[in-house]
Amino acid sequence: MQEVTIKGLENGALTIALSGDIDLGNADEFYAAVCAAYEQSPAKICFVCDELNFIDSTTLGTFVKILKKVKADGFGMRLVGLQPKIKKLFLICGLNAIMEIE
C-alpha cells in the first residue's frame, strides 16, 4: 500500500510526500498521481520520502520516467529523506548522477 500526498508548491518546487510501498502493483497509480499534479503545477519536483518503506525495480524505472518528463520542460527532481536501504538502490543504479538525492 502506498500513499502519495501532494503538498503543492513549496520553495518553488512541487512537493510530494511518499509513504508505504511502491512496487509493480501500484507504480502506475503513483506515476499517474505525480503526472496529474505536475500538469497542474509544472515545476521542479521534490519527493519527501521519510515514510517510504519499499520500492522495487519498477519503481526505479518510474522515477526515471518522471525525471524525463520534468527534464523535457527544463526542471529537475530531488528526493529527500530516503531510508538507507532505498537510497542504496538509487546509488547502485547510478541515479544520483541524473537526479538530486539527499
Residue 3 confidence (pLDDT): 81
Q: Is the pLDDT of residue 20 over 90?
A: yes
Rounded Cα distance, 40 and 47, in Å: 16
pLDDT band at 98 (very low <50, low <70, confident <90, very high): very high
Task: Tell me if 52 sits within 8 A of 23, measured CB to CB.
Answer: no
The yes-or-no verdict on residue 1 having pLDDT over 60 is no
pLDDT band of residue 97 (cuts 50, 70, 90) is very high
Q: Could you tell me where the DSSP H helices lie in 3-98?
A: 27-40, 57-72, 84-92
Domains and CATH numbers, the chain: 2-101 (3.30.750.24)
Is 2's pLDDT higher than 80?
no
Instruction: Report whether 33 contacts 65 (CB < 8 A).
Output: no
